Amino acid sequence: MVNNKLNQKTLLFTLCLATVESLTVVASPPVMANNTIQPDLSTLVKQVSPATVSICTLEYGSCNAISNYMFGCPAVATFGSGFIIDKDGYVLTNHHVINGAHEITVRLYDSREYSAELIGADERTDLALLKVEANNLPVVKISEPADALKPGQDVFSIGSPHGFLYGSISKGVISALNRNDMEEGGVPFIQTDTAINIGNSGGPLFNMKGEVIGINMSLLTLNGGFEGISFAIPTNYAMHIVNQLKKDGRASYGWLGVMVEQVDFNLAEDSDLDRPDRVLLSRVVPGSPAEGKLQPGDIIIRVDGHEVNFSCDLSTIVGCVPVGKSVEIELIRLGSPEVVTLPVGKLSEELIIDDQCNCWWCFLWFSRWCSRDVEKSI
């Protein structure tokens, strides 16, 4: 009798164990959109870290010969991050990282240090290209422009927060795209929640394929620290500037010669527009490419097939067009759709400097938030 009870309990235990095993769920590895297995972050970091660098700059103050002999000239050190884009020693970072520097030192992942030469810089997009005398360096892979970014997409950054925490990794997601009202340059920033602090500026923002999709530039903060809002310059926008810096040491921008402002709800209703996020041409600059082609009151819909919803969109699109190339502008004039073709001129240095909008400073490190409803020159 006892044996029968033991046999029954053993059988019951075996059945329960079998049931549990049959219900066990094995977690699948994360899968990317193209049905390929997403690589482990630590594996990606190991692959891409050798092409990341930290940057230290020194800016010397003015002093006379006596004070220099006795005490030395005072120097201010600043720190930033960057990454190698060419095996012959070209390094990309932010303009504000090296602005005003008398000495620039680049420290590689393996702790080698090199003095860097400034090849070119562009304040409008906050990009700078450096060169170190070294060969066969590891390089990052730049994401293809056709690879569309999406909000919610996983990303990670590598940089040197506060100048000494070299090789720090932080992971987050893309919070939003095309934040091109952050600066007058019309840069369509990537917004992420990746942890960015002082010293991360100029470092790479990677996708989960280990490709650079952006250059970290700034963070929005009310207390001086990271609050989950940071911004990066997308590489598909930056690389045409980088190519100019490498060739000429400076960048040029397309210019139409118009003043524009945002369409409001009442004007959109009067013009039979489906929505108010359009751009109204308010003035044409005399002698500009737009003179005789565009008119005050024109409502810009598209430029070369690219949708124009805000004045910042127009600035971004036109700024990327090579000087002398013609663009096709779809617009509404006096209630009727029209298409106008005109050549793009060159934005002068004076206009780049004076191109300001009614901005308010909001404790934003190295960035400004610009109002969309002011008149802007493009």
The verdict on 241 and 260 lying in the same domain is: no
pLDDT digits (tens, 9 = 90+) for 269-279: 666 666 667 78
Residue 88 is among the residues annotated as catalytic for this protein: no
- Of 132, 152, 167, which closes a domain? 132
Name the more confident of 375 and 63. Answer: 63
SS (HEC) of 106-161 = EECCCCCEEEEEEEEEECCCCEEEEEECCCCCCCCEECCCCCCCCCCCEEEEEECH
CA 374 to chain centre: 24
CA 356 to chain centre: 20
Position 54 in a domain? yes
pLDDT band with cut points at 50, 70 and 90 for residue 82: very high
118-132, 198-212, 360-374: which range is least confident on average?
A: 360-374
Domain that holds residue 283: 254-347+372-377
Provide, rounded to the nearest whole percent, the portion of the chain with pLDDT above 90: 34
11-20, 122-131, 220-229, 268-277: which range is least confident on average?
A: 11-20
pLDDT digits (tens, 9 = 90+) for 146-205: 568 889 999 999 988 887 777 788 899 999 888 766 555 678 889 998 888 788 899 999
Residue 126 is among the residues annotated as catalytic for this protein: yes
The verdict on 224 and 152 lying in the same domain is: yes
The verdict on 49 and 123 lying in the same domain is: yes
The verdict on 210 and 264 lying in the same domain is: no
pLDDT digits (tens, 9 = 90+) for 306-351: 888 877 788 888 888 888 899 999 998 888 899 999 999 988 765 5
The verdict on 333 and 240 lying in the same domain is: no
pLDDT digits (tens, 9 = 90+) for 124-142: 889 999 999 998 999 999 9
Q: Which of 122, 126, 181, 298 is catalytic?
A: 126
Phi/psi for 76 (5° steps) reads -110, 125
Q: What is the pTM of this model?
A: 0.75
State the CATH number of the domain containing residue 306.
2.30.42.10
Q: Which of 95, 96, 313, 315 is catalytic?
A: 96
Is the CB of residue 157 less than 8 Å from the CB of residue 149? no
Position 365 in a domain? no
Other CB atoms within a 10 A radius of the CB of residue 31 amount to: 10
pLDDT beyond 50 at 362: no
- Of 78, 99, 132, which closes a domain? 132
The pLDDT value recorded for residue 335 is 82
The verdict on 235 and 146 lying in the same domain is: yes
The pLDDT value recorded for residue 23 is 38
Q: Which of 201, 311, 315, 377 is catalytic?
A: 201
Which residue's structure tokens are 């884009």?
Answer: 85
Both tokens of residue 257? 């010669």
The count of domains in the chain is 3
The verdict on 242 and 271 lying in the same domain is: no
Residue 154 is among the residues annotated as catalytic for this protein: no
The pLDDT value recorded for residue 365 is 33
The verdict on 198 and 216 lying in the same domain is: yes
Position 185 in a domain? yes
